[in-house]
Structure 1
Amino acid sequence: MLKKIKGDIELIGRHLEVLSIVAQHQPIGIIKLSEVMNVPQHRIRYSLRVMEGLGYIRASPTGAVATEKADELFTSLDTDIEEIIVLLNGMRSSIQKT
Structure 2
Amino acid sequence: MIDRMEKEVDMLVRHLQVLRLVIANEPIGIVRMSNETGYEHHKVRYSLRVLEEEGLIEPTSQGATTTDQTSGFVGELDTKTTEISEQLDSMRLENTGENVQ
Fold equivalence (TM over 0.5): yes
Residue 13 in 1 paired to residue 28 in 2? no
Measured on the aligned residues, the alpha-carbon RMSD in Å equals 1.1
In 2, Cα distance between equivalents of 1:70 and 1:13: 16
Q: Hey, which bits of structure 1, 4+ residues long, moved more than 6 A?
A: none
Unaligned 5+ segments in structure 2 are: none
Could you give the per-residue CA deviations for residues 13-44 of structure 1, whole angstroms, max 9, x where no partner exists?
Answer: 10000001001000011111111112111111
SS of the residue aligned with 2:18? helix
Alpha-carbon offset, residue 88 of structure 1: 0.5
Task: Tell me the equivalent position of 2:3.
Answer: 3
In 2, Cα distance between equivalents of 1:5 and 1:41: 23
- Greater fraction of residues in helix: 1
Alpha-carbon offset, residue 70 of structure 1: 1.5
Matched length:
98
Alpha-carbon offset, residue 68 of structure 1: 2.0
Between the aligned residues of both structures, percent identity stands at: 34
More relative contact order, 1 or 2 (CA 8 Å, 6+ apart): 1
